[in-house]
Every structure is written in C-alpha cells, then in structure tokens.
A and B are shown apart, each in its own frame.
Chain A
Amino acid sequence: MLKAIKNWIEVRIGLDELVRDQLTEYRIPRNINLFYSLGTVAIAAFSIQVLTGIVLLVYYVPHPDHAFKSVQGIMMDVPYGWLFRQVHAVGSNLLVIVVALHMLSVFFMKSYAKPREMTWLVGFAMLLLTLTFCLSGYLLPWSQLSYWATTIVTNMPTAFPYIGDYLTEFQRGSSQVSGATLGRFFALHVMLLPALLVMLLGIHLFLIRRIGISRPPFGPGGQERVEWTQFHHESYPDGMPFYPHYIAKEVFMIMVYLSAMFFIIAFLPTLFSPADANIPADPFKTPAHIKPEWYFLAPYQMLRVIPSKFLGITLQMIAITVLFFWPFLDRKEERNILKRPVLLGGFIGALLVWIGLTIWGNF
C-alpha cells in the first residue's frame, strides 16, 4: 500500500530524482564546519516561533484594555499556555543569538565574497527583519516594560531634523504609544513581517542552492579559488553527502538549541522577563531604570554616550549601511581572515566594543 502511494507520487513528480539531487547526491565541501549549520538552526528556530505564535494568537487580544489580561490568562488559566508562551519568548531571544552568530561566521569566513553578494544582502535584510520582529513583539503583552521600552525606541527618529517628529508619530500612529501603536505593531508582527521573512528566506535558500555552497577558507582545499567570470554551479563532486552525513550534524545542533531553550525555561524562567514585564502598562507612570532588550543595549548605550543623539543615530545608520554593502566594499581577494590582520583586528575590535557597550548599558 505504502509502496503504491510512493509509486503514484514518483510517477508524477519524480521523487527519487529529487531526493537524489537535493539530499543523497547533494555534496558539500569536505572541510565544512559546524558553523555552516547555523542557517538551518535559524530556520528551525524561526519555524518554532511561527508555530508557537499561531498557538498564542488563539487567546491573545490586541487591545490595550485586554492585551495584558489575555497574556496573563495564557500564562495562568489556559492549560499549558505557559509552555507555548515561554517557548515563544525565550525562543525570540535565542533566535537573535543564532542569527547573529550566523552572520558573524559568514563574515569571518568571508562567504559573502563574489559571487555571493546577493545572498549576504538578503541575509542582512532578514537580520533587520528579525530585530523588527522582536521590537514589535515586545509591545504586544502591553506591560510597563513593553510600553516604555517601545516609547524609547520609537522616540529615536526624533533625532532627525525636520522629519523626526513626524517619523516618530508615524510609527506610533499617535503622539504617544497607544492603542493605535498596538494595532499596527500587532499587524506587523503577525502578518507583514512573517510574509516578508518567508519571501526573503525563499530567495536566500534559492541563491545558496543555485550558486552552490561556499567552501570554508580553512582546512584542506580551503585555498583553492575559482575565477568567476561566468555563471556556473560551484559543486563538490568528491565532497561529503549532505544526507545523511551533514544532516546528522544539523540535527545535533538543533537539539543543542532546544536544550539551551529548555534549560532556561526550567531553571531561569525569568531571565528574559524583568519585574516591569509583570505590571500592566501605565502611560502616566514611567518605571525607574527602563532599558531596551539586551540586543538593543549596545546601540542604546551608544546613543546615551554620544552627546548629540543626532550624531549618534547618524553613526549607527552609517554602521548599518557599511555592513549592508560590505561585500562591495571589501575587494581583497584573500579569503582567509587570519591572513588579513587589519580586517581581523576590526572584526574583533567591533565585537569587543559591542560587548562592552552592552555590559555598560546594563547599568
């Protein structure tokens, strides 16, 4: 019976060939490392966010009068609501870590080099989308923390002359963070952003498979270079099969991700929810020591340190723009970052500054 069904499908779409081309005979470089699995882990993590998000949507009410209560209901009254909310909330923080590591490793291995500039651009856009996801999702529980963290972040554009105030109001849909803000952030979070992200993810994956996976610059064969004057697949006929060899490693990494998640849920359940997250939003009372999520702390601290917030925000825009167009700015042929002291120094320096600002921003 099973065989008959399989045969029925086989005749119509050529399943065997698909499996052969995409899995068993799809070969990847022998010197590939564990960092190459971070993309898959990010997809898995994003899928978990989508699934738990849909589940939470069943009981969540996007209205200032009901949002906080409905989230409390999910946590305390709905059976196992806490499980799905915790997976969603902890998952969002872990997803940022995975996506950041993915980008750093791509940067470190210079995988963005010609012909993969587009893959980098799309990936970078997805990073920005992920952060927008986090930002919009943060407001939804309508707690003191959501309300005031959103107030601070949406206030940033006021640094721009002339159009700044308008930009801030445009984001909020009103002069202060209000029900109008909740409505648009909700629509963004559950409809627009998922649609955009899935689309970009499709392009990202298409580009990876179409061009072929990049060869890590380290280890045996790492230094081989192909002159890229016209399109061809970069393939590795004597490489290691993707299935089952590399898939097993990816399964391992996804399980490490889930273990980290449930370690936090079991032993540090309040890690990502400060006391202000447990108080309903009150537009008339600013809590003391309000600060944004940990991944926005570095830019936030930078804005606080630089005396003019306009200068600060301009510097940040420059940094983002430079990073976005990095594949076009970095023209050196050498792919091994260890042989490029200036780039390596800049990379480590930027990381240290980021970590330093994050720690500083915590106080």
Chain B
Amino acid sequence: MIARRGFLQIILAGLGLTALGSFLYPLLRYFSPTAGEGEAEKLIVDKREIPVGGSKDILFHGTPSIIINRPQKGFIVLSKVCTHLGCLIDYEKAKKRFLCPCHAGVFDLEGNVVSGPPPAPLPQFALKIEGDNLVIG
C-alpha cells in the first residue's frame, strides 16, 4: 500500500510539473516581444519626384499606399485600400478626390469619406520631411 502510494505520488508530481512547464513556456513566449514585425522600418522617397498635385504609389508595410502632394496643403500618405470592401481607390487629380471603382466610395484628399458606402476614413501614415526626402513611418 505504502509503495503504491509513493509510486502514485511520484506520477502525480511528474505530471504536475509537466503541466506547469506546459504553461510556463507559453507564458514566456507570450511576454517575449515579437521580433521582426518591421514596424520600425521607414521608407524614404525623394520629394522632387512628386510635383504639386502629383502622386506616387508605394507599398508601405505591405499596404498599397499613395503619397499626394496637395496644392497649398503639402504632402500626405494614405492607404489606398478602400475601407468598404478592400478595393484599391483611384486618385482623381482634377476632382481632388479618391474614387473607389468597386462601389463608388468617394474620399477627400485627407482620406475622409465624402460619399458612398465606406464606413471609415482611409488610414493615414506618419510622414516627416527631411531636406529633399520624405520619411514615411
């Protein structure tokens, strides 16, 4: 009886330690910062490439985006992914707006919804001007 009890106790302790370890490892991973997210990566574009009113398509952190040199208001970087169903919006230079070809969502050059089905404005990315360079991110 005593031998059997000791044996069971050892098994219980062994399984208990395994269970503990099986939670400690995930916990350690949970708190470890995810490496290589690329969040810190910045994109540099020469601002002389974009005349006033002009634009340039870029891929920023995997998101198709657009840089616009707005008359009077300067540069802005916006995601090109329509917030309705994810189509890519077109920049209509003459009308100073963005138009989504899928369901006619219209955004102004700040990314705000003007009309149509999109539920939210276009995400905007941080932008800094350093000399002749535009630093995005």
CA distance A251 to B15 in the complex (A): 13
A84 proximal to B (CB < 8 A): yes
Q: Is B34's CB under 8 angstroms from A55's CB?
A: no
Measured CB to CB, the nearest residue on chain A to B30 is A80
Q: Is A77's CB under 8 angstroms from B34's CB?
A: yes
CB-CB contacts of A240-272 with B at 8 A, as 1s and 0s?
Answer: 000000000001000000000000000000000
B73 proximal to A (CB < 8 A): no
What is the interface residue range for chain B against chain A?
under 10
CA distance A64 to B26 in the complex (A): 28
CA distance A79 to B34 in the complex (A): 8
A 55-77 contacts with B by CB, 8 A: 55, 58, 77
Q: Is B31's CB under 8 angstroms from A83's CB?
A: no
Interface of B is mostly: helix
CA distance A83 to B23 in the complex (A): 9
B28 CB to nearest chain A CB (Å): 9
B94 proximal to A (CB < 8 A): no
B72 proximal to A (CB < 8 A): no
A162 CB to nearest chain B CB (Å): 39
Q: Is A80's CB under 8 angstroms from B34's CB?
A: no
CB-CB contacts of B27-69 with A at 8 A, as 1s and 0s?
Answer: 1011110100000000000000000000000000000000000
Which chain A residues lie closer than 8 Å to B34 at the CB level?
A: 77-79
A39 proximal to B (CB < 8 A): no
What is the interface residue range for chain A against chain B?
10 to 19
A183 proximal to B (CB < 8 A): no
Contacting B29 at CB < 8 Å: which of A58, A77, A80, A251? A80
A243 CB to nearest chain B CB (Å): 13
CA distance A29 to B32 in the complex (A): 49
Which chain B residues lie closer than 8 Å to A299 at the CB level?
A: none
CA distance A81 to B34 in the complex (A): 12
CA distance A83 to B31 in the complex (A): 13
Most chain-A CB neighbours within 10 Å: which of B12, B26, B30, B34?
Answer: B30
CA distance A58 to B34 in the complex (A): 14
Measured CB to CB, the nearest residue on chain A to B31 is A58
Which chain A residues lie closer than 8 Å to B29 at the CB level?
A: 79-80
B62 CB to nearest chain A CB (Å): 14
Measured CB to CB, the nearest residue on chain B to A74 is B30
Which chain A residues lie closer than 8 Å to B31 at the CB level?
A: 58
A279 CB to nearest chain B CB (Å): 13
CA distance A81 to B27 in the complex (A): 9
Which chain B residues lie closer than 8 Å to A77 at the CB level?
A: 34
A 79-101 contacts with B by CB, 8 A: 79-81, 83-84
CA distance A330 to B36 in the complex (A): 66
A254 CB to nearest chain B CB (Å): 11
Measured CB to CB, the nearest residue on chain A to B5 is A244
Which chain B residues lie closer than 8 Å to A79 at the CB level?
A: 26, 29-30, 32, 34
Measured CB to CB, the nearest residue on chain B to A82 is B26
CA distance A83 to B27 in the complex (A): 10
Which chain B residues lie closer than 8 Å to A84 at the CB level?
A: 26, 30
CA distance A83 to B24 in the complex (A): 12
Measured CB to CB, the nearest residue on chain A to B120 is A65
CA distance A77 to B30 in the complex (A): 10
CA distance A84 to B34 in the complex (A): 17
B37 CB to nearest chain A CB (Å): 9
CA distance A196 to B34 in the complex (A): 36
Measured CB to CB, the nearest residue on chain A to B37 is A77
CA distance A80 to B32 in the complex (A): 11
Measured CB to CB, the nearest residue on chain B to A83 is B26
CB-CB contacts of B1-21 with A at 8 A, as 1s and 0s?
Answer: 000000000001000000000
Which chain B residues lie closer than 8 Å to A251 at the CB level?
A: 12
Measured CB to CB, the nearest residue on chain B to A87 is B23
Chain A positions within 8 Å of B, measured between CB atoms, are 55, 58, 77-81, 83-84, 251
User: Nearest 10 CB-CB pairs, A to B?
Assistant: A80-B26, A79-B29, A80-B30, A80-B29, A83-B26, A79-B30, A78-B30, A81-B30, A55-B30, A84-B30
Jot down 21 A-B pairs with beta carbons below 8 A, ordered by A.
A55-B27, A55-B30, A58-B30, A58-B31, A77-B34, A78-B30, A78-B34, A79-B26, A79-B29, A79-B30, A79-B32, A79-B34, A80-B26, A80-B27, A80-B29, A80-B30, A81-B30, A83-B26, A84-B26, A84-B30, A251-B12
Extra contacts, 8 of them, besides A77-B34, A79-B30, A83-B26 (Cβ < 8 A), are A55-B30, A79-B32, A79-B34, A80-B26, A81-B30, A84-B26, A84-B30, A251-B12
